[in-house]
């Protein structure tokens, strides 16, 4: 992905705040509109039997052998965004959707997407040594000996030519630089060497830029995803010493998508912003390298021994530098023809009404072959689409139109999905009821999901219906069990919504294609997949061989993911009353507000929270009444026009939580309850406008954000009152 990313395995302090703030959302056990026992949430009793029969037919379709064949094709060659190979994959997906009965087309978008011309790194002192060496092929896997693989690179790195001493900065986050300052290590003008982990790589570039480093080198330490964790490929699933984590360093926490056309797709290859003024572009060069190359630099650093917790997994004592190691780094990007075409695939299964849409998506571009990221999600989404298409060929027509999308350019910064969402903003606001995202669909056996709190029970309900291939019980039961152990979806672990009876659900920050739907347009969204021991993220080793030997050898979890995605989409498309749980949402907001007050008090912030508390209380009361109305409608039924008004009001609650002018300093991000943190990267911050203003001790800004939050909650309350018929 960048999507649900391994960079969020361990949250920073701002992300940990999310986990605490969301604890109260779990107090609702199985709340939300539902029918009598044995029914289905959101369905009137008279329609349950029909829905059960549809679900039985749908679950019979996903097939491990079919998913395996698709993944083998999808990973048959590298298919980087902006290339002919990516276009070929898009055409394949378009044709597949057509064969399933979808009206499917390619939506092409122009984006500013420079590619590397020269990527060089050399240690110049104490001896000369060429670094930034390519990943080493393994004999057992012919795909790793492919000259078409893009070298280790950072998408949207600034160009630069730098020669300077090297300083080790641990994970390269603000606290790390503060620690270096405390022990007297100066970083200005140096080349910072940081390891991946704990935040998005673009955040690390920003922090290095803020501390006036000349450049940044990133590497994957074996303590994090290499031999310290387990056997590397080809013996095990972890990253070998020569493995490189490619990735974008676009500042998507400011805004994703084309950096030169913020807020709208580029028109006729013309940008609205000059490169020099682009708010989301880094200003210093950066480059990813392997642990093998990083070892050559780290082992030659002098200076103090690293602080506690900074020692990685290589067999020598780490020092901060500077010291003997001096490096020359050169990054040259294509300045002659940087505008390239992306190919989004949009397939529609027309409903009885086209006034409401259920949208599901996955991206198809990959850094190299991308078996897990994104191929496993693509193959699983194809199985879901094939299942829905099979129902349609048998005569079924969905209540709501189902839109299945495969996005391009996700890896560079959510380019394709953002362009399409911005291009269809008016229509999506009017029609889209939900967005279902599957990115890295399968990397192992541990299911997890993230989403707006109103959809947590929807995911849990779907997991209850699907058999877990390993245990023979339901996916839900396996999910419950794994919450007591390490594992599950890595990026969901810090930000959880726990209940006594339910497994963990994460909240949405950023890093995958739900971002423009949820954070920019306020469309209720969720994200899900199966995780596991996955150490080859964004490397050329993430290929069919890896999946066949380590991730899902029999492709049974791909089929299970297809069932869960298909079932979730089907239920949202067919529900009489959309099964949103706003009582859980209101509880989450209430607890977050309490934690915010406590944080403000600790910091001595001169803020008044009486109005905010009243707004939260109003939302809670309205949510309770709306829930009763929804439950009554789903049990007793309602006239078509009344149900349509109820469903529209329920959908628009999320939209009401957007701030028209966006968050302070980040106008593209408009969601007042959840947003990626400026320094947490993908991980979410709850009540982000106020929280980040507090962290910056910007009291005037915090006051403005409190007022904006109060207004958003009041708008949401009015929508809930509409749903309740008040």
| 410 counts as catalytic | yes
Instruction: Give the burial string for 75-86 (b: 16+ CB within 10 Å, else e).
Output: bebbbbbbbebb
Asked whether the beta carbons of 6 and 225 are under 8 A apart, the reply is yes
d(CA 412, CA 375): 16
The pair of structure tokens assigned to 336 is 């002659």
d(CA 370, CA 539): 8
Coil, helix or strand for 527? Answer: strand
Task: Say which DSSP state 638 is in.
Answer: -
d(CA 97, CA 235): 37
Cis peptide bond prior to 374, omega within 30° of 0: yes
d(CA 282, CA 251): 7
CB-based contacts of 518, cutoff 8 Å, min separation 6? 435, 452, 508, 524, 525, 654, 671, 674
Closest CA to 343 of 93, 149, 69, 71: 93
Label residue 477 exposed, middle or buried (CB < 10 Å: 0-12, 13-18, 19+): middle
The pair of structure tokens assigned to 689 is 């406008």
330's enclosing H/E stretch is strand 326-333
Say which of 59, 135, 209, 410 is annotated catalytic.
Answer: 410
d(CA 630, CA 399): 18
d(CA 677, CA 473): 37
Work out whether strand 432-437 and strand 353-363 pair parallel, antiparallel, or are unpaired. Answer: parallel
Q: What are φ and ψ of residue 247, in 5° steps? A: 160, 165
Coil, helix or strand for 156? Answer: coil
Residue 117: CB atoms within 10 A of its CB come to 12
Q: Match 């964790």 to its residue by tokens.
A: 229
| Cα→Cα distances 687→513, 609, 663, 699, Å | 21, 13, 10, 15
Cis peptide bond prior to 126, omega within 30° of 0: yes
Task: Say which DSSP state 510 is in.
Answer: S
Instruction: Give the burial string for 225-264 (b: 16+ CB within 10 Å, else e).
Output: bbbebeebbbebbbbbbbbbbbbbbbbbbbbbbbbbbbbe
Asked whether the beta carbons of 248 and 412 are under 8 A apart, the reply is yes
| Backbone Cα Rg of the chain | 25
Closest CA to 228 of 313, 295, 310: 313
The pair of structure tokens assigned to 172 is 């390269």
- The residues annotated with a catalytic role in the active site are 410
């Amino acid at each position: 992905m960048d999507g649900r990313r391994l960079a969020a395995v361990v949250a920073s302090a701002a992300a940990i705040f999310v986990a605490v703030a969301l604890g109260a959302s779990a107090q609702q056990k199985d709340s939300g509109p539902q029918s009598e026992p044995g029914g289905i949430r959101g369905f009137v009793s008279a329609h349950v039997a029909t829905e059960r029969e549809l679900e039985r037919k749908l679950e019979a379709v996903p097939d491990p052998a079919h998913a395996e064949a698709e993944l083998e094709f999808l990973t048959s060659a590298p298919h980087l965004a902006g290339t002919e190979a990516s276009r070929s994959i898009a055409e394949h997906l378009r044709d597949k959707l057509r064969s399933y009965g979808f009206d499917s087309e390619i939506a092409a978008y122009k984006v500013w997407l420079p590619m590397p011309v020269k990527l060089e790194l050399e240690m110049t002192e104490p001896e000369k040594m060429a670094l930034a060496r390519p990943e080493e092929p393994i004999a057992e896997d012919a795909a790793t000996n492919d000259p078409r693989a893009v070298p280790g690179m950072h998408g949207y790195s600034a160009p630069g030519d730098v020669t300077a001493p090297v300083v080790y900065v641990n994970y390269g986050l603000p606290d790390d630089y503060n620690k270096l300052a405390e022990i007297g290590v100066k970083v200005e003008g140096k080349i910072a060497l940081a390891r991946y982990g704990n935040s998005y790589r673009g955040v690390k570039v920003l922090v290095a830029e803020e501390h006036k480093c000349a450049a940044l080198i990133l590497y994957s330490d074996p303590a994090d995803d290499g031999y310290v964790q387990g056997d590397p490929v080809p013996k095990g699933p972890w990253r070998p010493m020569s493995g490189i984590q490619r990735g974008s360093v676009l500042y998507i926490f400011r805004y994703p998508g084309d950096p030169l056309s913020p807020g709208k797709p580029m028109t006729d290859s013309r940008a609205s912003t000059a490169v020099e003024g682009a708010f989301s572009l880094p200003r210093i060069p950066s480059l990813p390298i392997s642990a093998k190359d990083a070892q050559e630099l780290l082992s030659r650093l002098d200076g103090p021994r690293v602080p506690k917790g900074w020692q990685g997994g290589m067999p020598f004592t780490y020092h901060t530098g500077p010291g003997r190691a001096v490096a020359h780094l050169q990054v040259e990007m294509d300045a002659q023809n940087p505008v390239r075409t992306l190919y989004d695939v949009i397939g529609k299964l027309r409903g009885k009404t086209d006034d409401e849409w259920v949208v599901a998506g996955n991206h198809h571009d990959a850094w190299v072959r991308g078996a897990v990221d994104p191929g496993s999600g693509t193959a699983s989404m194809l199985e879901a689409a094939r299942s829905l298409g099979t129902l349609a060929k048998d005569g079924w027509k969905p209540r709501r139109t189902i839109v299945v999308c495969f996005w391009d350019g996700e890896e560079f910064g959510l380019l394709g999905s953002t362009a399409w969402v911005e291009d269809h903003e008016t229509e999506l606001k009017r029609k889209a009821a939900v967005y279902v995202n599957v990115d890295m669909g399968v990397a192992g056996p541990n299911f997890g999901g993230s989403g707006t709190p109103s959809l947590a029970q929807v995911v849990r309900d779907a997991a209850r219906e699907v058999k877990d291939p390993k245990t023979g019980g339901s996916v839900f039961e396996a999910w419950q069990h794994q919450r007591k152990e390490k594992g599950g979806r890595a990026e969901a672990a810090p930000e959880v919504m726990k209940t006594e009876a339910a497994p963990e659900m994460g909240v949405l920050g950023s890093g995958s294609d739900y971002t423009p739907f949820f954070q920019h347009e306020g469309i209720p969204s969720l994200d899900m997949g199966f995780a596991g021991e996955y150490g080859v993220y964004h490397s050329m080793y993430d290929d069919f061989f890896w999946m066949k030997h380590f991730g899902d050898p029999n492709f049974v979890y791909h089929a299970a993911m297809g069932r869960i995605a298909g079932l979730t989409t089907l239920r949202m498309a067919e529900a009489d009353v959309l099964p949103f749980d706003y009582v859980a949402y209101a509880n989450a907001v209430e607890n977050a507000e309490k934690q915010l007050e406590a944080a403000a008090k600790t910091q001595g912030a001169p803020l008044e929270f009486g109005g905010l508390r009243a707004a939260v209380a109003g939302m809670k009361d309205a949510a309770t009444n709306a829930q009763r109305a929804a439950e009554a409608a789903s049990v007793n039924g309602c006239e078509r026009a009344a149900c349509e008004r109820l469903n529209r009001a329920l959908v628009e609650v999320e939209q009401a939580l957007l701030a028209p002018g966006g968050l302070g300093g980040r106008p593209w991000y408009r969601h007042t309850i959840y947003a990626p943190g400026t320094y947490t990267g993908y991980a979410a911050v709850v009540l982000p406008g106020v929280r980040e203003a507090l962290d910056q001790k910007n009291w005037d800004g915090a006051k403005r954000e409190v007022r904006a939050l109060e207004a958003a909650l009041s708008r949401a309350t009015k929508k809930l009152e509409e749903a309740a018929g008040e």
